[in-house]
């Protein structure tokens, strides 16, 4: 047995010497894993029981993944297979061969059919992504490299090709494209040149004619030298110029007709003041009948030229566009001047249009006189109403006073049926007194006789007094009044009497037009910095966001008085006139609720006098909201 193993070992040694691709060939004991024979004699009896090729090689042919050999440091693949006489026999030994990858690399390269400089290698490496890039190989040669990781062999397959060989087809293709492009360019230039001689010259002739026609020479025609499409174009162009000539002639005739009959004067002067154009029916005003005065100085055409007209002409020649009004020959003329410029924007003259505005001036003067007379009559009316209202208030106060005195005496005598009549007299007297007071206030406002008394007062106290005053009116119609005053309201510096009257008018209207409903008055401050309302911690229901009106110039702190009711509301078409004097929602409202329609008009006048404003929002059947904005400090 020892002689046979020695022979096998000599054979294996001779085989590896001639077949350098084999790094080592050996036989292993299938039971112990010891090396029985090996092409490397020093490896005899070496224990390989823990190697993968022994463990796997006992059962089947096994190819181990690429690894770096511990003996020579080269990438190596190990192949192991069991040896047995037949398929059913026991394994006699395990044949193991360590192969260098150089042979596999040569086989791959021989079978690829790639270029001469291609290098293919199967290498051991760490796992990584597939890569394709340009770089220099170990020899310093620029190459294109592609690497692909073979997970099932734990190896990297790498292919390299010199960049010079790889890009050679591209360079050849580029040269071919360049040559073909050059030849094509030469042929195209020659074709364009021939085409230009046949087509471009007639088209250029048409373009030159078109430029001259555009400059104003409408009598030119384009030459028709061919019968092809270019000839058709020239013929169509000539037809167009003929139509333009006809149209221009008609327009010129119509313009001449309009200018000659229009009550205007159309003129043009050059820089020296020579008249170049003079047309218009308005020349009759100046007594100019001879139209052969062109190309003469303006002093010869119209010797009575005022000095102000000469100055206006100098302004126009200086480049200014303007209008002026002058008096000529008992007529008032409005003259509009504009400079005339050439293609280089240099001023070469001036043009102007004069129109007789005598009737307009007279009408404006008459209108001004009528307006002043109407204003004087209105002031007289207001003064009369103020005086009459004052005269009426004295006897009315006497009637009211005497009715109250008689009512007390009648009550003492027990004449109750007479007391009811006296109450009606008293109520009617108060009602008439309120009407007269409103008329008196409006008359004073229109006559400008309202004097303001500006002083500081507490807003909360004012609201409390107003609520106590209007509370009987609120309860009379079964309404509920809610008062909300923000803590930051504080004091105002304004006319306390007018502010009180504003709030009373709004609450009185709300109580008048609301039955069995809710009336809310909310007072809060708005500041210039944020235009935001203070939060009311004791609100009984949420308030709408503050919507500041565009007409209110909030240039400082303001106090807002908002009165909301659930009454009959106002139609949208009446919201624009609700603040006019003697106006209510509609005729039916006046019949049912009475009143003169002066309360809101007076309220708005007082708001404006105090530097504030008032707005209204309303929905029919849902109620109205009136919001007053007054400056905290009157200026």
Please give the pLDDT value at position 277. 79
Contact 286, 303 (CB under 8 A): no
DSSP letter for 570, please.
-
Q: Per CATH, which fold does 451-631 belong to?
A: Heat Shock Protein 90 (3.30.565)
Check: CB of residue 525 under 8 Å from CB of residue 632: yes
Tokens of 539: 């609100």
Taking residue 56's Cβ as centre, other Cβ atoms within 10 Å add up to 17
CA dihedral 451, 456, 458, 463 (to 10 degrees): 10
Bridge partners of 625? 564, 617
For residue 134, CA distances in Å to 113, 145, 157 come to 21, 6, 16
Non-local (6+) Cβ contacts of 97 within 8 A are 22, 24, 25, 78, 79, 80
Distance CA 490, CA 487 (A): 7
pTM for this predicted structure = 0.38
Sequence-distant (6+) residues with CB within 8 A of 355 are: 263, 264, 265, 282, 333, 334, 335
Q: How far is CA 299 from the centre of its chain?
A: 58
Q: Which tokens go with 300?
A: 């010869």
User: Can you tell me the distance from the alpha carbon of 547 to that of 616, in angstroms, rounded to the nearest whole number?
Assistant: 11
C-beta of residue 536 within 8 angstroms of C-beta of residue 498: no
What is the architecture of the domain spanning 262-356?
2-Layer Sandwich (3.30)
- Residue 79: how many other CB atoms lie within 10 Å: 16
Give 564-583 pLDDT, tens digit per residue. Answer: 999 988 887 777 777 776 55
C-alpha angle 165-170-173 in degrees, rounded to nearest 5: 130
Burial of 476 (0-12, 13-18, 19+ CB in 10 A): exposed
Give the H or E element holding residue 13: helix 2-18
| Whether 23 contacts 99, CB under 8 Å | yes
pLDDT tens digits for range 21-76: 777 888 888 888 888 888 888 888 888 888 888 888 888 888 877 776 777 667 77
| Closest residue by Cα to residue 98 from 123, 128, 63, 133 | 63
Cβ(269)–Cβ(350) under 8 Å? yes
Residues of the chain where predicted confidence (pLDDT) is lower than 50:
1, 529-555, 587-588, 590-595
Radius of gyration of the chain (CA): 57
Tokens of 443: 């008359």
pLDDT of residue 552: 39
Show the DSSP H helices in 228-357 as ranges.
229-261, 283-286, 298-301, 307-317
Contact 67, 76 (CB under 8 A): yes
Q: 């796992």: which residue's tokens?
A: 127
Those residues with Cβ within 8 angstroms of residue 628's Cβ, 6 or more apart along the chain or in another chain: 502, 503, 506, 560, 561, 562, 603, 607, 612, 613, 614
Q: What angle do CA 148, 152, 153 make, to 5 degrees?
A: 75
Spatial CB neighbours of 350, under 8 Å, sequence gap ≥ 6: 268, 269, 313, 316, 317, 337, 338, 339, 340
Residue 394, token pair as written in the block: 């004295």
Which residue blocks in 124-282 are alpha helix, DSSP H?
A: 163-195, 201-214, 229-261
- Say which CATH class 1-104 falls into: alpha beta
């Amino acid at each position: 047995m020892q002689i046979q193993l020695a022979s096998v070992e000599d054979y294996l040694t001779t085989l590896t010497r001639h077949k350098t691709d084999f790094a080592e060939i050996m036989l292993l004991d299938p039971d112990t894993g010891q090396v029985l024979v090996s092409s490397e004699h020093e490896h005899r009896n070496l224990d390989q029981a823990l190697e993968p090729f022994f463990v796997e090689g006992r059962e089947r042919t096994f190819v181990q993944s690429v690894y770096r050999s511990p003996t020579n440091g080269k990438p190596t693949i190990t192949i192991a297979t069991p040896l047995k006489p037949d398929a059913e026999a026991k394994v006699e030994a395990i044949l193991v061969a360590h192969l260098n990858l150089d042979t596999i690399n040569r086989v791959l390269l021989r079978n690829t059919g790639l270029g001469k400089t291609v290098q293919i290698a199967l290498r051991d490496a760490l796992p990584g992504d597939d890569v394709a890039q340009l770089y220099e190989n170990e020899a310093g040669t620029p190459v294109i490299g592609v690497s692909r990781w073979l997970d099932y062999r734990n190896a990297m397959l790498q292919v390299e090709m010199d960049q010079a060989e790889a890009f050679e087809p591209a360079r050849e293709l580029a040269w071919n494209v360049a040559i073909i492009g050059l030849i094509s360019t030469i042929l195209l230039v020659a074709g364009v040149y021939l085409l230009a001689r046949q087509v471009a010259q007639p088209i250029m002739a048409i373009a030159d004619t078109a430029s001259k026609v555009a400059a104003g020479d409408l009598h030119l025609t384009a030459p028709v030298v061919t019968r092809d499409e270019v000839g058709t174009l020239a013929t169509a162009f000539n037809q167009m110029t003929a139509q333009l000539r006809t149209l221009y002639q008609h327009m010129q005739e119509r313009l001449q007709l309009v200018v000659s009959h229009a009550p205007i004067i159309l003129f043009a002067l050059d820089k020296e003041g020579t008249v170049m154009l003079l047309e218009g029916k308005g020349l009759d005003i100046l007594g100019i009948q001879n139209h052969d005065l062109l190309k003469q100085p303006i002093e010869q055409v119209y010797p009575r030229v005022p000095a102000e007209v000469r100055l206006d002409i100098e302004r126009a020649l200086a480049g200014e566009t303007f209008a002026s009004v002058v008096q000529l020959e008992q007529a008032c003329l409005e003259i509009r001047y504009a400079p005339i410029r050439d293609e280089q924007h240099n001023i070469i003259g001036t043009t102007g249009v004069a129109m007789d505005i005598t009737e307009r001036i007279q009408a404006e003067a008459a209108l001004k006189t009528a307006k002043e007379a109407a204003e004087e009559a209105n002031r007289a009316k207001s003064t009369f109403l103020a005086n009459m209202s004052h005269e009426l208030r004295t006897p009315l106060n006497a009637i009211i006073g005497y009715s109250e005195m008689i009512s007390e005496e009648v009550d003492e005598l027990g004449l109750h049926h007479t007391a009811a009549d006296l109450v009606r007299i008293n109520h009617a007297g108060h009602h008439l007194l309120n009407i007269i007071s409103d008329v008196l206030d409006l008359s004073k406002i229109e006559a400008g006789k309202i004097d303001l008394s500006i002083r500081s007062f507490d807003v909360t106290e004012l609201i409390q007094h107003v609520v106590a005053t209007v509370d009987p009116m609120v309860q009379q119609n079964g309404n509920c009044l809610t008062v909300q005053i923000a803590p930051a309201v504080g004091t105002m510096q304004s006319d306390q009497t007018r502010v009180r009257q504003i709030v009373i008018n709004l609450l009185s209207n709300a109580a008048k037009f609301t039955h069995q409903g809710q009336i809310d008055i909310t007072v809060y401050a708005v500041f210039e910095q944020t235009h935001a309302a203070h939060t009311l911690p004791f609100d009984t229901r949420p308030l709408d966001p503050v919507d500041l009106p565009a007409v209110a110039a909030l240039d400082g702190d303001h106090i807002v008085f908002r009165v909301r009711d659930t009454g009959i509301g106002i139609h949208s078409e009446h919201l624009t006139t609700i603040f006019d004097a003697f106006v209510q929602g509609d005729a039916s409202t006046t019949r049912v609720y009475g009143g003169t329609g002066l309360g809101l008009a007076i309220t708005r006048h007082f708001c404006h006098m105090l530097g504030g404003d008032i707005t209204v929002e309303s929905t029919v059947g849902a109620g109205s909201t009136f919001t007053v904005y007054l400056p905290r400090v009157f200026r």
